[in-house]
Copies of this chain bind each other. A is one copy, B any other.
């Protein structure tokens, strides 16, 4: 992949050109999960809930909206539905998280830890994340593939193979 070493993916990459905004992985992800109830449903399934009635009760989300958001998560492969049947009852759908959904969890934990630090819950963090193997507290970190921790200020954004620009639209 031929990427210029000094390339900077600024808002205007060359005179008269700018980033093609919808061509952004953040924007694509947000089209699927960029909405409060959607992430809270994902949270519930990750926490082990699997039934629509439990989502409805715990989240307090309006029923139709909940169904719409859940359907989207299933369509996008973030959640999947399975049938389960308890003896003597009819089969019911239950909802499970997929590997694609699990892959979103670090970002969700990032939101959680930000909330722990900045949303001043009076008593402190509602939940702690611990490493099962050793019991130590778990954090979300930026690390490079050489193993260095990377502060946000030390990130370079470089155009990737999918980078696109478009002509700047100017008034007048």
Contacts and interface: CB of A to CB of B under 8 A. Distances in A.
A138 to B, nearest CB: 5
B40 A30 contact: yes
9 contacts: A24-B112, A24-B115, A25-B127, A26-B39, A26-B112, A27-B115, A121-B162, A138-B144, A140-B140
| Copies of this chain in the oligomer | 2
Interface of A: 1, 3, 5, 9-11, 18-19, 21, 23-36, 39-40, 43-44, 47-49, 54, 57-60, 77, 100, 102-119, 121-146, 148, 150, 152-164, 169
A138 B127 contact: no
Contacts of A26: 39-40, 43, 108, 111-112, 115
A139 B143 contact: yes
A54 to B, nearest CB: 7
Nearest to A125: B160
Given A126-B160, A130-B158, 16 more contacts: A21-B59, A21-B60, A25-B113, A25-B115, A25-B127, A30-B111, A34-B35, A105-B155, A106-B142, A123-B161, A127-B157, A128-B159, A131-B150, A138-B142, A139-B144, A140-B141
